Amino acid sequence: MSEAAQTNAAAVAIYQDLLDRIATSYSAGDFDAYARMIAVPHEVSSFGPIARIETRADLRRLFDDIVTFQNTKAVTDYIRTCLAARFVADDRIEGVHETRLLSGTQVIEQPYPVRSILRLIDGNWMVCSSDNALEPDVGLGRILARNAQASDVPAP
């Protein structure tokens, strides 16, 4: 395996591990674990407005909204699979993953891609921004749009 392939494999492993741990924090309702993986400030976008998370309170509101959505929809499986990731610097990974939400065998939302940027901060990999291919008027897209309205950042 070439050095570049080994480096990309390492980036994919780091990215997937972070995705898995974030999913676990949602299912456990563990905000403290979640907060250790999401950098603040943080930007989350969709096909709607951009949510800019400036404070831990903003992050808490987003986390609680996502957990409430998952509980309301009886999500049993929150599956996020890294499709590609690469180091763009020693302390930065850019990647793309697919998100699936299921309640048993029922699809809650159609699978959608997400592009995220990870940074190594104080020895920990953290998500700094995510761009979700979601419409702003349904499901998780609505949650992102609502949080964007709270942060009052217009879409580009």
Domain-embedded: residue 29: yes
For residue range 75-110, list pLDDT tens digits in order. Answer: 999 999 999 999 999 999 999 999 999 999 999 989
Which 3 state secondary structure label does DSSP give 134?
Answer: coil
Count of domains for the chain: 1
Q: Say yes or no to pLDDT of 155 above 60.
A: no
Domain-embedded: residue 88: yes
Phi, psi of 99 (to 5 degrees): -115, 135
Q: pTM, whole model, 2 decimals?
A: 0.88
Domain-embedded: residue 83: yes
Domain that holds residue 136: 3-151
Residues 48-69 have a mean pLDDT of 92
Domain-embedded: residue 135: yes
Burial degree of 6 (CB within 10 A; 0-12, 13-18, 19+): exposed
Question: At 140, which CATH number?
Answer: 3.10.450.50
Domain-embedded: residue 156: no
For residue range 1-29, list pLDDT tens digits in order. Answer: 566 556 789 999 999 999 999 999 999 99
